[in-house]
């Protein structure tokens, strides 16, 4: 393979013509000269990729040639599994693994951050023949070497709560990619689906991009556009992002199999907005908000039966503190924000800055309960 032996060029007299060709490429040849230099390299050393900007050499043997890395093309052949390492902290990564296995005949390795020790997840991966690497390997200095020995072609990160070191990003043969559940650069960072709902967006998106040392800053490979419904919740929009992301990954795999260049569209830094772990208003409902905003906050936080990254929005009425699990906004004339406008059989209407917030389900003492059990 082309680059796997580059570290031996200096000791190989037979390799000197190829080494001179590489130096010529690194010297800044352009146009026809560069193509002729590449052609001289092809017969003995394979194709020469510049679009991936990655290498396949095990650390610390990195060969960089004037701004880009020399890599083996590793164009997958039909029927030959591509080795993909999925890195994630979410159990939904099993859904991605199943789709890759069924849609593209892809062999995947999973490195779960929080979920690798989860028995049910590991069993589901075992059933589809996917190896489950322990989460401790993410912080191990031996991970790049292990990836090289496993001949990992591409790494795909999905909602990984850890920042992967550059040595890990450089280890795959073709490259490392992140599936971000939001449009970039407008929704970089954490919990993009929840923020999109809270901000009242009509559309959201999912982005597949190259990974670099920054957070969601790499060049974009592809993106999708997802409409947001009036009843959208955090978990439903995240699920739509996963479905769209599976298609983006499948398109990337197909692109690589065809031997085509992987897109590298730079992001516009002036449009970048980064969202941290912070929750709107520290997770507390502000009754001076209009009812539509409060409803969006409640829907954006809804991930039942899973744990919400935003928790359950906390509210206080008549000195009683509780969480709002579900509700809907009613655009009618209201009274003093935070006061009870009406008590129904299965609901409670609270006045807001504009309109009424009808509370349907609540959480007390960490457990779902009915509005009647609030006792207010």
Q: Token pair 């959201």 is at which residue? A: 204
CA pair distance 273, 288, nearest whole angstrom: 26
Pairing relationship of beta strands 367-369 and 68-69 according to DSSP bridges: unpaired
Cβ–Cβ under 8 Å, residues 93 and 86: yes
Residue 305 has a pLDDT of: 86
Number of Cβ within a 10 Å radius of residue 128: 14
- For residue 259, the model assigns a pLDDT of 87
pLDDT of residue 230: 95
How far apart, in whole angstroms, are the C-alpha atoms of residue 299 and residue 231?
8
pLDDT tens-digit map of 92-110:
666 677 666 654 444 555 5
| Global confidence as pTM | 0.76
322: helix, strand or coil: strand
What is the pLDDT at residue 335?
Answer: 87
Distance of CA 192 to the CA centre of its chain: 10
Q: Express the helix, strand and coil content of the chain in percent, nearest 5 each.
A: 35, 25, 45
Mean pLDDT across the chain: 77
3-class state of residue 318 by DSSP: coil
Query: Would you state the pLDDT for residue 316?
Result: 95
Per-residue pLDDT of the chain (376 residues; tens, 9 = 90+): 444 434 333 333 333 333 333 333 333 434 444 444 444 433 333 333 333 443 333 333 333 332 332 333 344 555 566 788 888 766 666 667 766 665 444 455 555 544 444 566 666 666 766 766 766 666 678 888 888 888 888 999 988 867 888 999 999 999 999 999 999 999 999 999 999 999 999 999 999 999 999 999 999 999 999 999 999 999 999 999 989 998 999 899 889 888 899 999 999 999 999 999 999 999 999 999 999 999 999 999 999 888 899 999 999 999 999 999 999 999 888 789 999 999 988 899 999 999 999 999 999 988 888 888 888 8
Report the pLDDT value the prediction gives residue 109, as an integer from 0 to 100: 56
Q: What's the pLDDT at 73?
A: 37
DSSP code of residue 106: -
pLDDT reported for residue 78: 54
**Contact (Cβ atoms closer than 8 angstroms) between residue 166 and residue 183:** no
Could you tell me if 157 and 179 are in contact, meaning their C-beta atoms sit under 8 angstroms apart?
Answer: yes
Q: Are 322 and 290 in contact (CB under 8 A)?
A: no
């Amino acid at each position: 393979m082309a680059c796997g032996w580059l570290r031996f060029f200096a000791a190989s007299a037979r390799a000197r013509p190829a080494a001179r060709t590489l130096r010529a490429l690194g010297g800044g040849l352009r146009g026809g000269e560069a193509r002729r230099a590449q052609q001289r390299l092809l017969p003995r050393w394979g194709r020469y990729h510049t679009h991936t900007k990655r290498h396949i050499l095990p650390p610390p043997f990195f060969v960089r040639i004037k701004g880009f890395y020399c890599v083996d093309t590793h164009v997958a052949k039909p029927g030959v599994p591509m080795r993909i390492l999925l890195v994630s902290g979410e159990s939904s990564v099993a859904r991605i693994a199943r789709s890759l296995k069924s849609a593209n005949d892809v062999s995947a390795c999973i490195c779960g951050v929080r979920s690798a020790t989860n028995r049910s997840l590991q069993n589901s991966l075992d059933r589809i023949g996917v190896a489950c690497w322990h989460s401790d390997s993410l912080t191990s200095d031996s991970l790049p070497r292990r990836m090289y020995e496993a001949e990992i072609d591409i790494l795909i990160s999905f909602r990984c709560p850890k920042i992967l070191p550059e040595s890990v990003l450089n280890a795959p043969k073709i490259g490392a990619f992140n599936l971000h559940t939001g449009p970039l650069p407008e929704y970089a960072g954490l919990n993009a689906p929840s923020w999109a709902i809270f901000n009242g967006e009509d559309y959201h998106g999912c982005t597949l991009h190259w990974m670099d040392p920054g957070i969601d800053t790499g060049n974009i490979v592809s993106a999708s556009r997802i409409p947001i419904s009036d009843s959208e919740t955090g978990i439903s929009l995240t699920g739509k992002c996963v479905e769209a992301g599976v298609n983006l990954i499948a398109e990337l795999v197909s692109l690589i199999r065809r031997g085509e260049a992987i897109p590298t569209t730079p992001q516009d830094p002036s449009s970048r907005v980064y969202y941290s772990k912070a929750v709107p208003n520290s997770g507390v409902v502000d009754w001076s908000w209009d009812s539509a905003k409060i409803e969006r906050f409640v829907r954006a936080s809804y991930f039942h039966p899973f744990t919400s990254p935003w928790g359950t929005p906390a509210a206080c009425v008549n000195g009683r503190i509780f969480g709002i699990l579900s509700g809907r906004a009613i655009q009618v004339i209201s009274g003093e924000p935070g006061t009870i406008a009406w008590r129904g059989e299965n609901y409670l209407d609270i006045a807001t800055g504009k309109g009424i917030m009808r509370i349907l389900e609540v959480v007390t003492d960490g457990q779902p309960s009915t509005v009647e059990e609030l006792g207010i």
